[in-house]
Amino acid sequence: MYIVDVHAHLDFEEYDKDLDRVIGENQSSGVKAIINNGVNPESNRKVLELAKKYDVIKPALGFYPVWAAQAKEEAFDAEVEFISKQEKIVAIGEVGLDYIKGDDNPHGDKYKNEMKACFEKLIRLAEKKRLPMICHSRRAEQDVIEMLESSSLKPNQVVMHCFMGRQHLVKRIIDKGWSMSIPCIVTRLQQLQENVAMAPMNQLLTETDSPYMSPHIDIKRNEPRFIIEGLKKIAEIKKLDIDETSKMIYMNYQNLFNRF
Ligand SMILES: [Zn+2]
């Protein structure tokens, strides 16, 4: 099996106690690559450390939209500068826009303009570094798409993570030649199943958003190896064999990210 997870957060405290074991178990279950997405300055540094320690972890550095909008401008700019100097990263992520008010976003879309200004700077960074961007777009799908469309990013530089926008927006993503990374909860979310049905195989990737969104009701903490559940669903929708499906997605991963 060739399992790839293009969106995980193994730097989060949920893995502090047993990351060695988690990585070992995941590799013996066929996980070939995990793109760990950084979410703020502290997380970005931890991601770089993890990537040094574990071969299977590939570093993506970014700034989660909610925290980017709350950061002081100088601090945000300093982090963009830090990221721009990193030679061994495979993507810019996690980045994007988030307009939904909740525990992890107390202000909702109140600081929308600040968020957009930060995202704009991160788009410039991805253009300059010629790296793919891994984009979060919760309740801000149209704005994210429009900002990406007006950039000079190439089709192979955009990955929409856990995309939950309307069907005409899914179509726009597909027409642009961008990729969508499908979380393993595709097993129970019809909208994600429809995204899979609409997209050509060569525009699909797999992800977990670990530690969140476990496909198992009785296991709260997600892990990259659980992508097997997502792969089964994708294979079923695309009427393919599961091994074939995993190889095709692995190839998509290599085409987009495998620089080192
Ligand atoms: Zn995430």
CATH of residue 145's domain is 3.20.20.140
Angle in degrees, 0-180, between the axes of helices 167-176 and 190-198, rounded to the nearest 10? 30
User: What mean pLDDT is reported for the chain?
Assistant: 96
Q: How far is the CA of 40 from the centre of ligand 1 (A)?
A: 12
Q: What's the rounded mean pLDDT across residues 187-203?
A: 98
d(CA 170, CA 137): 12
Pull the structure tokens for residue 106: 């107390």
Q: How many residues does the chain have?
A: 260
Return the number of other C-beta atoms located less than 10 Å from residue 137's C-beta.
26
Q: How far is the CA of 222 from the centre of ligand 1 (A)?
A: 12
At 111, is the pLDDT very low, low, confident or very high (cuts 50, 70, 90)?
A: confident
At 108, is the pLDDT very low, low, confident or very high (cuts 50, 70, 90)?
A: confident
d(CA 37, CA 64): 9
Cis amide bond preceding 200, omega within 30: no
Q: How far is the CA of 128 from the centre of ligand 1 (A)?
A: 23
Strands 133-136 and 57-61: unpaired
User: DSSP character for 105?
Assistant: B
Amino acid identity, position 66: V
Q: How far is the CA of 214 from the centre of ligand 1 (A)?
A: 13
Q: Report the number of distinct structural domains present in the chain.
A: 1
Q: How far is the CA of 260 from the centre of ligand 1 (A)?
A: 23
Asked which of 101-105, 160-164, 185-189, 226-230 is least confident by mean pLDDT, the reply is 101-105
pLDDT in tens, 142-165: 999 999 999 999 999 999 999 999
- Percent with pLDDT over 90 in the chain: 94
Q: How far is the CA of 238 from the centre of ligand 1 (A)?
A: 26
Range of the domain at 102: 3-257
